[in-house]
Copies of this chain bind each other. A is one copy, B any other.
Amino acid sequence: MTTRADIADYIKDQAALIERELERSVPAEWNMPAALREAMQYSLMAGGKRLRPILVLAAAEALGGRPEDALPVALAVEMIHTYSLIHDDLPAMDNDDFRRGKPTNHKVFGEAMAILAGDALLTHAFYSVVQAARKSGVPGDTIADIVEELSRLSGAPGMVGGQAADMEGEQGVTRLEELEYIHLHKTSDLIVFSVKAGGRIAGASREQLAALERFGTCIGLAFQIQDDILDLVGDETKLGKPVQSDVKQQKVTYPYFIGIEASQAKVEELTREAREAITTAGFPSPERLLQLADYLMKRDH
């Protein structure tokens, strides 16, 4: 974990570790309908950057904790992210047939099973959080704090609220503040949770948690603005999806309000602010977190 390997290699290795653990995250001995297990596993293993769980591990490492102690919480975040994609893709929501080049969950398993697979993954995330107590002896009080924060930041005042605002906003987001509300909740909240939870596992102080919160908010917003930029000017081959989909769907984005150049400057400013939050808080091993912030700013997919 502490080699000086290039950040791209680090990300690849951590993603591989997370995928191995995700593969066996639903206990094999649990009795359940085969189709439900298959539908859960299909979306869990459908790829993706694994950015959020990697951030959980990197935050634990930044505090001098053992990343493996944070693994159950890292898996939990990816389960929450995965369920949100399954439900967002449903016909009643964004009605998407493909994600990352593969048919969406409801196209393969049907709508009813996709709804249930999402519900099951959401529910299983909380089971996974508790496994940090079972496997690494994380104290019950820390587990309670993490459960409370996960339900708040992924629930009605967090990610689900952001998604609801996004849906309502399709009738017309007219102010940058509304767009920022959606971005902050739909994307940043789960990233904030990720870095804070990794920090909590490693015993972060109140000040360190505040620094991680600022870091997460900034890179979360930067991540979403970068998404908007790449959708406008990115390379389809690298992105693995068609560009200009926001324009075609008449979706309001950050560049729509302030232009491409100001958007790019905003991404850089947010990244600087994120780095500063960490460097001024005196973390023992912040290198990977800082590298991840830079990597996200420069990404082309």
Interface residues of A (CB under 8 A from B): 26-27, 30-33, 35-37, 40, 83, 87, 90, 92-93, 110-113, 115-116, 118-120, 122-127, 129-130, 133, 139-144, 147-148, 150-152, 154-157, 160-161, 163-165, 167-168
Contact = CB atoms under 8 A, between A and B. Distances in A.
B127 A160 contact: no
Number of copies: 2
Would you call the interface of chain A mostly helix, strand, loop, or mixed?
A: helix
A269 to B, nearest CB: 25
A130 B148 contact: yes
Contacts of A156: 26, 30, 32, 36-37, 40, 120, 123-124
B113 A90 contact: no
| Candidate in A90, A125, A160 with the most chain B CB atoms within 10 angstroms | A160
A139 B143 CA distance: 11
Contact of A33 (B31, B126, B168): B168
| Candidate in A113, A133, A140, A142 with the most chain B CB atoms within 10 angstroms | A140
B32 A124 contact: no
Nearest to A83: B119
Given A30-B157, A32-B164, A36-B160, 17 more contacts: A30-B156, A35-B164, A36-B161, A87-B115, A87-B116, A113-B164, A119-B122, A120-B155, A120-B156, A123-B154, A127-B147, A127-B151, A127-B155, A140-B140, A140-B141, A140-B142, A140-B143
Given A120-B155, A123-B122, A144-B140, A111 B130 contact: no
Contacts of A125: 151
21 contacts: A26-B156, A33-B161, A33-B165, A35-B164, A37-B156, A40-B156, A87-B115, A116-B164, A118-B119, A119-B119, A120-B156, A123-B151, A123-B155, A124-B155, A126-B148, A126-B150, A140-B140, A140-B142, A140-B143, A143-B143, A147-B147
A151 B164 contact: no
B36 A119 contact: no
A155 B40 CA distance: 12
Nearest to A114: B92
Contacts of A31: 157, 161
Contacts of A167: 112-113, 116
Contacts of A139: 140-141
A288 B113 CA distance: 39
